[in-house]
Homo-oligomer: A and B are copies of this chain.
Amino acid sequence: MRKYYGIIVLLFCVKIGTAQTENSTYKNDSTILKKIADDVMTNGTAYENLRYLCKKIGPRLSGSTGAEKAVLATKKMLQDAGADTVYLQPCMVTHWVRGAKEVGYAVVDNKKIALQITSLGNSEGSGGKLIGADIVEVKTMEELHKLGTAVKGKMVFFNIAMNPTLIQTFSAYGASGVGRRSGPSEAARYGAIACLVRSLASNVDDHPHTGATRYNDSLAKIPAVAISTSNAELLSANIKAKKKVQVFFKNNCTMLPDVLSYNVIGEIRGTTYPEEILTVGGHLDSWDLAEGAHDDGAGIVQSIEVIRAIKAAGIKPKRTIRSVMFMNEENGGGGGNAYAAFAKEKKEQHIFALESDAGGFTPRGFTFGMSKEKIAAIQQWEKLFYPYGVYELRAGGGGSDIQPLADMGVPVSGLRVDSQRYFDVHHAETDIFEAVNKRELHLGALNMTALIWLVSEYGL
């Protein structure tokens, strides 16, 4: 036996050695994360930056003066955050304009009822002319296909409520969104003259929620408006009661040619592998109805905070970190596409991209669009995140703006937050600064910083 003793002792030492290294690495990492966390929760500027973006600039739809101002403001914020370099990346963006505010009403058995409506993003309006017709309610796309040309000359009312039993509200949003996304063209296919869409909202209230629709170019582009959920319930109840329901509205929106705009980029150059790039971002554009606080002012100021927090912690990241304010997520994707195209053209080496575009709520996890092996490697950091409320590191998407990178094979991730309140305010005039809680916003920012720092330190 004696000859094996040495080997056993040796193996034992290696085992202890590894354990000790792992332990001290863990301890070191967790110390750095704590430093970042304490600083963000105490000195973080994300909340005040969000206040500025919401209250001093406000709506920032692509092509608007708000968007232009937001480009300059976030450029300055990135500089103030301490980015080594800050620059604008040109991109062509959608230029849709709402025009004068929509007016709509229903006539129910000869009684006129004012409706809360808002044109769907990217839709064509009625040219300011009042249009009206009997409405036909459908609760699924299949119902419309069944009705077929029976909707000719009428308005189709897509009353597809978000399913309250889906605990992750994004699942309900995705499922119910078919009416908004493709309803107008499908209704046009059968000769409908216009489209009403129940707002994609979790709650029942008086605020219509906008959002982009997508016309099928081979079909007529009929006017399409969202109505508030309370209006949707009202119309539906009257239809159920066999009353005669007509709807009239006029709107003035239209699509103009694309215009030049910018992604705003701030960078900390990596010390050891500067050519390896990590992107962290959100989208700078927001719908014109409100301040775009949760969608996606939150993701913007959190991505700026990543830069500030890393600088404040005195960390020198091994890899290059880029904080990107993407333009035109809401109704075109021009910014995300330009960013990926530029990366491809310049043969940039993108190793990771993270997006925050689910609202500035308490974080619960991250999703990862990458190989199982890479996800498993990241899951080994689980314990490091646990003290900051993040417990779920699982497979899933990144975000719209970084999807073009994902399509090129870049590993992506998305911040996953508590989603219960998001669709109360999403794309509605209620998405304002006051709907965001400072601690929740900063908790998201610190977890994003932690993930970015870990990937910059260890790669993937």
Contacts and interface: CB of A to CB of B under 8 A. Distances in A.
Given A167-B388, A202-B439, A420-B440, 4 more contacts: A37-B167, A41-B167, A42-B164, A421-B437
Interface of A: 37-38, 41-42, 164-165, 167, 169, 202-203, 362, 364, 387-389, 391-392, 418, 420-421, 424, 437-440, 443
Interface-central residue, A420, A424, A438, A443, by most chain B CB under 10 Å: A420
19 contacts: A37-B167, A38-B165, A41-B164, A41-B167, A164-B439, A167-B389, A167-B443, A169-B439, A203-B438, A362-B362, A362-B418, A364-B389, A389-B418, A418-B418, A420-B440, A420-B443, A421-B437, A421-B440, A424-B437
A310 B172 CA distance: 25
A172 to B, nearest CB: 10
A266 to B, nearest CB: 25
Contacts of A391: 391-392
A440 B437 CA distance: 15
Contacts of A362: 362, 418, 420
A42 B387 CA distance: 33
Contacts of A388: 167
Query: Copy number of this protein in the oligomer?
Result: 2
A384 to B, nearest CB: 13
A319 B424 CA distance: 39
A38 B165 CA distance: 5
A38 B443 CA distance: 30
A421 B38 CA distance: 18
A349 B203 CA distance: 42
Contacts of A42: 164-165
A319 B446 CA distance: 45
A439 B421 CA distance: 8
Contact of A41 (B165, B364, B440): B165
Contact of A439 (B38, B420, B437, B440): B420
A364 B420 CA distance: 13
A3 to B, nearest CB: 36
A391 B389 CA distance: 11
A216 to B, nearest CB: 34
A47 to B, nearest CB: 10
Nearest to A440: B420
Nearest to A204: B438
Contacts of A37: 165, 167
